[in-house]
Chains A and B, each alone.
Chain A
Amino acid sequence: MVQRYELTGEERDAIVRGDIGLIYVLGANGQLLMHFAAFLGMPWPGYIQAMRDGIVKHGPVRAGIYAMTTAVDDKVAGI
């Protein structure tokens, strides 16, 4: 399915692996990404943590229009 879209190798691999953290860093909008995470069976706390882990592992958001605004160890999600 991913072959149908114009993606970089990094983007394609992240989608195939279900690497939510990297997909977020690459610039995916969370309003869409949260549904991909749910599709993968990831509960809400895991989804939030995966994005935070992605920032730690891959660095700040590289593209898109919204960047993370809290520190990686801030506990803001109520979980």
Chain B
Amino acid sequence: MSLVFAGICSHAPGITGRADMAAAQLREPLYAAFRGMQQQLEAARPDALIIIAAEHFANFFMNNMPSFAIGMSDQYQGPIEDPNWLRIARTAVPGDAQLSRQLIQEIMQTVDVAYAEEWKFDHGIMVPLHFLTPRFDIPVVPVNINCQGPPLAPLHRAWAFGEAIRRAVDSLPQRIALVGTGGISHWPATPDSGRINEAWDRDFLARWSRNDRDAMLSYSDRDTYRDAGQGGFEIRTFISVAAAARGKGELQHYAPIPIFAVGCTVATMDIAA
């Protein structure tokens, strides 16, 4: 088969960990959007879910930081954080080592990736899975793009990575879903936490929704840091999804929620040939 679903969403730990600190009129529409995305994902009947995240020094640290990494295991665990802090119970998450191996081999034709046979998911994957596959019954292929410790892969490499994912998925018989997770503008876990540049976010989402490659790749890291904070570097995950899906995006939800430290986003993208 091929790619059957593509979407993006926020992964901020506050979405679950500080849920009670957000006003219900902000929190509940976000949760409803996640539920809507879950329904769309299930309707696509995926055999597996590739989730592109930007993890936060949990598995990949400054002593060994790959630009791109893909999990290759039949089982993962998460969250690596204190479950009471994230308010997501620690659980086993199914993987598919054989599928991962096939994907990695094809992706490596154009993009060098690291692989990991052990991976403990942090909030970058667990928060989206908590909403999108709450029964943890869909095999997951975790993917990480280094968005934390510069030097970071250039945006055009994130695009090339997405193209490689699409080519690899299309070469397989399985029905594969793809979700990219991250922030847009945000300054997470710093004194600036809660600062959100809504105008910058909406401009990026407009570029993403029309799948405007040149516009998405025109940001410099310096400008992104100035306008969108270090969290803005996570646009790489969204860009990779756009490169893979090739279609037009539909924004289901966007709302700045300062206590969640991010402009909370849920969006899907059509799959184009």
- The answer to whether A77 and B259 touch across the interface, beta carbons within 8 angstroms, is yes
Interface check A68, CB cutoff 8 A = yes
Judged by a CB distance under 8 angstroms, whether A35 is at the interface is yes
For chain B residues 133-181, which have a beta carbon within 8 Å of chain A? Answer: 148-150
Residue total for B at the interface (Cβ-Cβ under 8 A): 28
A63 within 8 A of B: no
Within 8 Å CB of A66, what residues of B?
Answer: 190, 230
**Which residues in window 1-57 of A have CB below 8 A to B?**
24, 29-35, 38-39, 44, 48, 51-52, 55
* Contact call A33/B258, Cβ cutoff below 8 A: no
A32 and B230 contact, CB distance less than 8 A: no
Say yes or no: A48 contacts B193, CB within 8 Å: yes
Taking a contact as CB atoms under 8 Å apart, the answer to whether A68 and B85 are in contact is no
Which residues of chain B have C-beta atoms less than 8 A from A51's C-beta? 190-191
Is B32 close to A, CB under 8 A?
no
Known A44-B18, A44-B21, A78-B257; contact A35-B81, beta-carbon cutoff 8 A: yes
Asked if A24 meets B259 with Cβ closer than 8 Å, knowing A31-B56, A44-B18, the reply is no
A52 touches B56 (CB 8 A): no
Binding site for B on A (CB under 8 A): 24, 29-35, 38-39, 44, 48, 51-52, 55, 65-66, 68-70, 72, 74, 76-79
Please list 23 pairs of residues, one from A and one from B, whose beta carbons are closer than 8 Å in the complex, sorted by A's number: A24-B190, A24-B191, A29-B57, A31-B57, A31-B148, A34-B189, A35-B81, A35-B82, A39-B82, A44-B259, A48-B191, A51-B191, A52-B191, A65-B149, A68-B190, A68-B192, A69-B187, A76-B193, A76-B195, A78-B21, A78-B257, A79-B21, A79-B194
